[in-house]
Chains A and B, each alone.
Chain A
């Protein structure tokens, strides 16, 4: 097995087919990378949403606690 091109320039040029070949590979890898990273973004969004709900829940609890304390006779 041997490298088929004489120089890096020849490898990039590929006898005129270079732009087609490299465009195909570039688009493929970008698309696959986007697909691979999408779950990570979704995880971050879900985590933020859960934290937001936890904050809302905590605030609701503290307001309720204050209200029940205020309702108690002094």
Chain B
């Protein structure tokens, strides 16, 4: 009895129906927060005394990097849950998280490079933080490539989960890289245990963007997971009904 909710959580159909109700709100929240945060950060936050206006890239760089790391946790933990409890849905979430994480890591690296040019005078440097983030990108790409290498989904799921779990070694290295190897990348500006080294006038727009990126991540992960569910469960009657119902209403409207 106590485990009933856990098994229901593993049901792809239950997930599909629940997320249908949540997704419009998440979409609204992410558009509003990211829109407001961008305008705030680009136009209204004060200029940085040392870096000038180039620092405004922080409002997308930091949220993207946050989610690139959090996304890896989500991917690896979903993989672990899938391996341990053989939960179908969990593997689907893991597979959906890989391309999203790859894009976010790419955004973090790209915005970092573009920020580096006016600030450090170079687009790229083999700094510890940057190199470990590049490894993170390769791990995400590795999971995507590994998934495509197998023709059987169940085998691909297990292999991807193993790779994702082994890759978690990289995560603490990324976090600690700015403290262990004090090279070019600046240390963290937002700290949870002590006072942050960022002025409130810059911190609030950044916080708005971070929350907005979290909402967008949740929305995107749900959207990708739902598509993967339909692809995997297309033989079941509920998916057939869903797809037929959709196409019927669409043809009526058109």
Give the B-binding residues of A (Cβ under 8 A). 1-5, 11, 14-18, 20-21, 23-25, 27-28, 31-32, 34-36, 38-39, 42-43, 46-47, 50-51
Inter-chain contacts of B114 with A (CB < 8 A): 20, 23-24, 27
Query: In the bound complex, how far is the Cα of B54 from the Cα of A65, in angstroms?
Result: 72
Contact A31 B107 (CB under 8 A): yes
Chain B 42-66, CB-CB to A under 8 Å as 1, else 0, gives: 1111110000111011001100100
- Listed A/B pairs (22) with beta-carbon separation below 8 Å: A1-B44, A2-B44, A5-B43, A15-B52, A17-B52, A20-B114, A21-B54, A21-B56, A24-B61, A24-B110, A24-B114, A24-B115, A32-B216, A35-B100, A38-B99, A38-B224, A39-B224, A42-B231, A47-B246, A50-B234, A50-B240, A51-B247
Inter-chain contacts of B100 with A (CB < 8 A): 35
The prevalent SS among residues of B at the interface is helix
B interface residues, how many (CB within 8 angstroms): 41
Minimum CB–CB distance from A23 to chain B (whole Å) comes to 6
* B223 interface contact, C-beta 8 A: yes
Given A20-B114, A24-B60, A50-B240, does the pair A36, B220 have CB atoms closer than 8 Å?
A: yes
Query: In the bound complex, how far is the Cα of B99 from the Cα of A50, in angstroms?
Result: 25
Nearest opposing residue in chain B for A38, CB measure: B224
Give the A-binding residues of B (Cβ under 8 A). 38, 42-47, 52-54, 56-57, 60-61, 64, 99-100, 103, 106-107, 110-111, 114-115, 117-118, 201, 216, 219-220, 223-224, 226-227, 230-231, 234, 240, 243, 246-247
B60 partner, pick from A2, A25, A38, beta carbons under 8 A:
A25
List of 6 A-B pairs having minimum Cβ-Cβ separation, nearest first: A14-B53, A17-B54, A39-B223, A17-B53, A24-B111, A39-B227
Query: In the bound complex, how far is the Cα of B21 from the Cα of A51, in angstroms?
Result: 27
Inter-chain contacts of B117 with A (CB < 8 A): 20
Contact A25 B220 (CB under 8 A): no
Given A25-B38, A25-B42, A39-B224, does the pair A46, B47 have CB atoms closer than 8 Å?
A: no
Inter-chain contacts of B99 with A (CB < 8 A): 35, 38
B106 partner, pick from A21, A25, A31, beta carbons under 8 A:
A31
Minimum CB–CB distance from A50 to chain B (whole Å) comes to 5
Inter-chain contacts of A25 with B (CB < 8 A): 38, 42, 57, 60
Inter-chain contacts of B240 with A (CB < 8 A): 50
Inter-chain contacts of B118 with A (CB < 8 A): 16-17, 20
Contact B110 A14 (CB under 8 A): no
Minimum CB–CB distance from A37 to chain B (whole Å) comes to 9
Inter-chain contacts of A2 with B (CB < 8 A): 44
Contact B60 A11 (CB under 8 A): no
Inter-chain contacts of A27 with B (CB < 8 A): 107, 110-111, 114
